[in-house]
């Protein structure tokens, strides 16, 4: 199956009307230094409109920075993996994110989970 092509979105004025038609969501993964099929800690964050990823540009980086601050997502995790996802919706002049994430040592049950709804961005 072919992956959907990234969609180029340059600012909030472009994004907000699309959010009225399509689900706006985000996924993130934070890796520990050594895992079952990787070496090197890191954090990956990807935003989507429905199934189409947002293209990597300065606006995408801006959204990542807001997400990291809103949910305190670390750059890396010393001995575990964090997987999370969320849906971002508009409520009046605020974008809110309803999210869930889990932290687990690879191949183990989660040792910590979080979920909730917080302000993502005031517009």
Q: Higher-confidence residue: 35 or 103?
A: 103
Residue 35: the pLDDT is 62
Indicate the average pLDDT of the chain. Answer: 92
Distances (CA, A) of 12 to 41, 54, 85, 111: 31, 13, 21, 36
Instruction: State the pLDDT at residue 78.
Output: 80
The per-residue pLDDT for 38 is 58
- Average pLDDT score over residue span 79-93: 94
What's the pLDDT band for 9 if we cut at 50, 70, 90?
A: very high
pLDDT of residue 33: 72
């Amino acid at each position: 199956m072919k992956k959907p092509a990234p969609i180029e979105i340059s600012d909030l004025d472009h994004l907000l009307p699309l959010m009225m038609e399509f689900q706006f969501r985000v996924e993130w993964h934070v890796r520990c230094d050594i895992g079952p099929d990787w070496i090197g800690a890191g954090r990956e964050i990807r935003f989507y409109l429905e199934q189409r990823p947002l293209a990597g540009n300065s606006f995408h980086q801006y959204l990542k920075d807001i997400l990291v601050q809103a949910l305190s997502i670390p750059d890396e995790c010393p001995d575990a993996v964090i997987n999370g996802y969320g849906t971002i919706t508009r409520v009046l002049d605020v974008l809110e994110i309803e999210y869930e994430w889990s932290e687990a040592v690879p191949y183990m049950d989660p040792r910590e989970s979080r979920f909730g709804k917080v302000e993502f961005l005031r517009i």
